[in-house]
Amino acid sequence: MKRILSALAIGAVAAAALSGCSAGSGSDKVIKVAYQKFGNFTQMDTQMKSVAKQFEAQNKGYTVKLVPIQASENDYYTKLSLMNKAASTAPDVLYEDTFLIKSDADAGYLAPLDSYVKDWSDWSKFPDNAKQAGEGENGKLYGISMGTDTRALWYNKDLLKKAGVEVPWQPKSWQDVLDAAKKVKAAEPGVTPINIYSGKGGGEQSTMQGFEMLLYGTHDTLYDSSSKKWIAGSKGFVDSLDVIKEIYQGGLGPSVQNALDPNFGNTVSGQLLPQGKLAIDLDGSWLPQNWIKSGAAPWSDWNKVMGEVAMPTQDGASPGTTSMSGGWTLALGSKSKNKDAAWDFIKLALNKKNSLKYDVSATQIAVRTDVASDPTYTDANPTNKFFSDLVKVTHFRPATSVYPKVSNNIQVAMESVMTGQATPKQAAKTYDDALPDAVGGAKHVTTK
Write out pLDDT tens, residues 391-409. Answer: 899 999 988 899 999 999 9
Supply the pTM of this predicted model: 0.84
> What DSSP letter does each residue of 360-376 carry, written as one string?
HHTTPBP-SHHHHT-HH
Q: Tens digit of pLDDT per residue, the chain (448 long)?
A: 333 333 334 444 444 444 443 333 345 799 999 999 977 678 899 999 999 999 999 999 999 999 999 988 888 999 999 999 999 999 999 999 998 999 999 999 999 999 999 999 999 999 988 898 999 989 999 999 999 999 999 999 999 999 999 999 999 999 999 999 999 999 999 999 999 999 999 999 999 999 999 999 998 999 998 899 999 999 999 999 999 999 999 999 999 999 999 999 999 999 999 999 999 999 999 999 899 888 889 999 999 999 999 999 999 999 999 999 998 999 999 999 999 999 999 999 999 999 999 999 888 999 999 999 999 999 999 998 999 999 899 999 988 899 999 999 999 999 999 999 999 999 999 999 999 999 999 999 999 8
What DSSP designation does 441 have? Answer: S
Q: Calculate helix-pair angle for 235-249, 174-187, nearest 10 degrees.
A: 10
CA distance 389 to 358: 20
Question: Cis peptide leading into 319, omega within 30 of 0?
Answer: yes
Q: Which of 109, 111, 191 is nearest to 144 (CA)?
A: 111
Residues near 379 by beta carbon (within 8 Å), at least 6 away in sequence: none
Burial class (CB in 10 A: 0-12, 13-18, 19+), 225: exposed
Q: Are 97 and 105 in contact (CB under 8 A)?
A: no
The yes or no reply on domain 151-324+402-447 and CATH 3.40.190.10 is yes
Asked whether 183 and 161 are in contact (CB, 8 A), the reply is no
- Mean of per-residue pLDDT scores for the chain: 92
- CA-CA distance, 317 to 172, in Å (whole number)? 9
Residues 80 and 297: their CA atoms lie apart, in Å, by: 27
Torsion-angle region of residue 228: left (phi > 0), alpha (psi -120 to 50) or beta? left
Residues near 122 by Cβ (< 8 Å), separated by ≥ 6? 347, 350, 351, 352, 368
First and final C-alpha spacing in the chain: 39
Buried b (16+ CB within 10 A) or exposed e, 132-145: ebbbbeeeebbbbb
Where in the chain are all domains bearing CATH 3.40.190.10?
A: 2-149+326-396, 151-324+402-447
Predicted confidence (pLDDT) per residue in 69-97, tens digit: 998 888 899 999 999 999 999 999 999 99
Sign of the CA dihedral with 240 first, then 245, 250, and 252 last: positive
* Alpha carbon 365 to its chain's center: 13
Looking at CATH, the fold of the domain delimited by 2-149+326-396 is given as D-Maltodextrin-Binding Protein; domain 2 (3.40.190)
